[in-house]
Chains A and B, each alone.
Chain A
Amino acid sequence: MSKEQELTTTQGNTAPANTARASGTASDTRFVVPRVDVLEDDSGITLLADLPGVPRESLELKVEGDTLLVEGVVATPMPQQLQSVYAEVRVPRYRRTFTLSRELDASRIEANLRDGVLNLRIPKQEHARPRRIEVRAG
């Protein structure tokens, strides 16, 4: 593992799926769970995720069935001969999956990545929006 790979990484709660070293395809199995905020209003859900160091090109969003996958690779340029002396971010990959519920419209998700913060807007299906039910006297 090069020093460079050791340096690039993420904060906080590391969730190593296994302890494979970051080389070749084995590196795909180690990742960090990004921190998120999830907010819901009448028309949909907003998901904010911290992905520092991830540019738009190395962010991947996938919806498969009712599963939403957010995956990103830290691509902060670092000099080749950099020697790591201290690292809190050790795994340069973020991954987190969410289960969407049926009233959400996965085909109309809007995504916006700015300064390492992903903003996902997941609208609700038209028929799932809350509406007031009139009670008729009779």
Chain B
Amino acid sequence: MYESLFSFPAGFAGDFQRLRNELDDLFGVVGMPTGIRSVAPGSFPAINVGNLPQSLEIYAFAPGIDSSKIEVTVDRGVLTLAGERPASLPANDAKVKVYGRERASGHFHRAISLPDDADPSKVQADYRDGVLHISVARRAGPVPTRIAIQ
């Protein structure tokens, strides 16, 4: 009896998602500023960002992509990741039955505003185990200048 409840992958988790959306409407997002390019939670790929003294480290969790087809660009302080993820499902094969279809496919695009001290000429990216790691160097901190009072 209980097992049947779990055999619908989206079923009862979906109720929580709706609850969460309603709570967001009630308390969360309303009135709070969000980034102009922010995306809904669960968007592909998920991104983590961390700070180091000399660089900004970005980790994009984008499994199953040909690394030569990921485009990383920096334009006017906005770093953009774009690419395409091929669909795993055969186009129209009548013999294949599809049960779960949760993985994202198709074009994806995410943008991150870089801080003022980011150096767009020093960006490194590597792709490993489905994680795209981008390291953006920071410019050396300006030496504080003493201003003489006249």
| CB neighbours of A36 from chain B (8 A) | 100, 102-103
> Are B64 and A76 within 8 A (Cβ)?
no
- Pick from B46-54, B71-79, B142-150 the stretch touching chain A: B46-54
- The stretch among A18-26, A77-85, A102-110 that forms the contact with chain B is A77-85
Kindly provide the distance from the CB of B106 to the nearest chain A CB, expressed in whole angstroms: 14
- Whether B96 pairs with A39 at a CB distance below 8 angstroms is yes
Whether A39 pairs with B50 at a CB distance below 8 angstroms is no
Q: How large is the interface on B (under 10, 10 to 19, 20 to 34, 35 or more residues)?
A: 35 or more
Q: Which of A28-79 contact B (CB under 8 A)?
A: 35-42, 47-48, 50-55, 74-76, 78-79
Residues of chain B contacted by A88 (CB below 8 angstroms): 41, 46-48, 61
Residues of A within 8 A of B89 (CB): 37, 39
B19 to chain A, nearest CB (A): 13
Q: Is the CB of A11 within 8 A of B45?
A: yes
Chain A interface secondary structure, helix, strand, loop or mixed?
loop
Residue of A nearest to B98 (CB): A39
Residues on the A chain within 8 Å of B95, using CB: 41-42
Tell me which residues from 13 to 27 in chain B have a Cβ below 8 Å from any Cβ of chain A.
13, 17
Residues of B within 8 A of A134 (CB): none
Interface size for A (C-beta < 8 A) is 44
CB neighbours (8 Å) of A50 from chain B are 63-64, 103, 130
**A120 touches B (CB below 8 Å):** no
Q: Mark B131-146, 1 if CB is under 8 A from A, else 0.
A: 1010000000000000
Bound together, the chains give a CA A8 to CA B133 distance in angstroms of 12
Partner of B129 from the list A42, A53, A89 (CB cut-off 8 Å) is: A53
Asked if residues B100 and A89 are in contact (CB atoms below 8 Å), the reply is: no
Which residues of chain A have C-beta atoms less than 8 A from B98's C-beta? 37-40
Q: Does B101 contact A (CB under 8 A)?
A: yes
Q: Can you add 14 more A-B contacts, CB < 8 Å, to A8-B48, A37-B88, A83-B52?
A: A7-B48, A10-B46, A12-B41, A39-B98, A41-B96, A42-B95, A50-B63, A50-B103, A50-B130, A86-B48, A86-B49, A99-B3, A116-B61, A117-B130
A interface residues with partner B (beta carbon < 8 Å)? 3, 7-13, 15, 35-42, 47-48, 50-55, 74-76, 78-79, 81-89, 99, 114-117
